[in-house]
């Protein structure tokens, strides 16, 4: 069974926006599906709330599960995890058994999901490629920008996007829109298109359009900009230039592309003038507010999905807290989707998140808003 592609399909977005009456907490602690959305009445002329019926199908735990994307090893753990906890997405890493894709085992995982499942991957080209043996290699972002036009890059990328979709991928955690002059083999390096933010914008826009036209969702990374960071967040804390400097360079591609339909991934970055000491961007309320409101870096407001970078395999987070604490902190800060790379902690994480909701630290209104953003990104229609 193939699920709805993980992309902001315009017709679905319009349907949801036109019908939405805002977030609802209806049936937030029950699994009831019979509660109807409010009806249009001739007397009042009010619009029906299409989202209320959608949200009513979930228990609180199931809503929270929709906000998790979890790395899996292969068919057994992926299918069990989706069937038992109904998580919103799975992540396929370099360690994942490729039979999930090459033998179409992912269809069994998707069949276990009540809500269309995101099947996500890091496929940037160059040295960050998980599918080169299945769909062929592609040059790095930097090499692409140096050797082909943006439209030639679009043509190459849309073909790769279609090949990814045929394998069962629905969301690509790309493009990398970091602005960087670092050596090719550094943490960002040749993953960046250029040290010129306008070049980054042009090629990242081509990639986002290509994924959309191939039927996949794209996710820009790593907000608010990793290109001039002090190191590798896999190995420890990373400090960026001050916010004012990021506004002039690193944030420019995000500002230019914030209305592109792509999601945004927030990095584990310490940003002078923005983040609180010891609280990296991925779990920082100030960073989420900057991205949502836009005004702090001259951008339009962003109401698409905010993803975290991996919360369990990167020392910039793991040296500070465990996975349950990190996921809770990220969602409470304002992220819509917490990503991590191992499947063994999902039950404990959901137990913790339910506690956060009961304690009022993670308001149900905020959870509902995130569930709806993820549904829009997946292209799920909400008919009244």
Active site residues: 234, 309
Q: At what angle do helices 285-293 and 323-333 cross, to 10 degrees?
A: 40
Please choose, from the candidates 174, 226, 218, 180, the residue with its C-alpha nearest in 3D space to the C-alpha of residue 199. Answer: 180
Q: Quickly count helices (H) and strands (E) in the chain.
A: 17, 10
Distance CA 43, CA 46 (A): 8
DSSP-derived 3-state class of residue 351:
helix
Classify 127 as helix, strand or coil.
coil
Range 77-106 burial, b when 16+ CB lie within 10 A, else e: bbbebbeebbbbbbbbbeebbbebbeeebb
Chain centroid to Cα 62, Å, comes to 18
Contact assessment for residue 130 and residue 164, using Cβ atoms and an 8 Å cutoff: no
Distance (Å, whole) CA 330 – CA 314: 15
């Amino acid at each position: 069974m193939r699920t709805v592609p993980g992309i902001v399909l315009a017709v679905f977005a319009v349907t949801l926006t036109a019908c939405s009456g805002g977030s609802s907490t209806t049936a937030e602690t029950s699994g009831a599906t019979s509660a109807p959305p409010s009806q249009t009445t001739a007397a009042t002329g009010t619009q029906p709330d299409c989202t209320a019926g959608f949200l009513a199908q979930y228990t609180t735990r199931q809503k929270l599960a929709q906000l998790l994307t979890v790395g899996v090893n292969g068919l057994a753990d992926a299918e069990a995890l989706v069937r038992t906890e109904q998580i919103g997405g799975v992540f396929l890493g370099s360690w994942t058994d490729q039979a999930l894709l090459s033998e179409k085992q992912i269809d069994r995982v998707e069949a276990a999901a009540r809500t269309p499942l995101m099947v996500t991957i890091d496929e940037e080209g160059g040295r960050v490629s998980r599918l080169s043996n299945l769909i062929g290699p592609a040059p790095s972002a930097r090499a692409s920008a140096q050797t082909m036009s943006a439209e030639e890059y679009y043509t190459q990328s849309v073909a790769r996007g279609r090949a990814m979709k045929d394998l069962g991928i629905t969301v690509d955690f790309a493009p990398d829109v970091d602005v960087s002059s670092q050596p090719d083999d550094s943490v960002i390096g040749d993953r960046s298109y250029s040290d010129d933010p306008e070049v980054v914008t042009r090629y990242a826009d081509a990639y986002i359009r290509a994924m959309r036209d191939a039927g996949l969702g794209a996710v820009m990374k790593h907000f608010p900009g990793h290109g001039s960071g002090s190191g590798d967040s896999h190995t420890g804390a990373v400090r960026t230039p001050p916010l004012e400097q990021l506004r002039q360079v690193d944030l420019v591609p995000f500002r230019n592309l914030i209305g592109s339909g792509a999601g945004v991934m927030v990095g584990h970055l310490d940003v002078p003038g923005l983040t609180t000491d010891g609280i990296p961007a991925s779990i920082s309320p100030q960073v989420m507010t900057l991205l949502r409101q836009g005004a702090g870096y001259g951008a339009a407001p962003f109401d698409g999905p905010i993803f975290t970078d991996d919360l369990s395999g990167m020392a910039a987070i793991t040296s500070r807290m465990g996975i349950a604490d990190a996921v809770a902190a990220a969602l409470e800060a304002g992220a819509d989707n917490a990503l991590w790379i191992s499947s063994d902690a999902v039950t404990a994480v959901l137990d913790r998140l339910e506690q956060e909701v009961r304690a009022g630290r993670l308001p149900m209104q905020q959870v509902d808003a995130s569930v709806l953003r993820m549904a829009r990104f997946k292209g799920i229609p909400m008919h009244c």
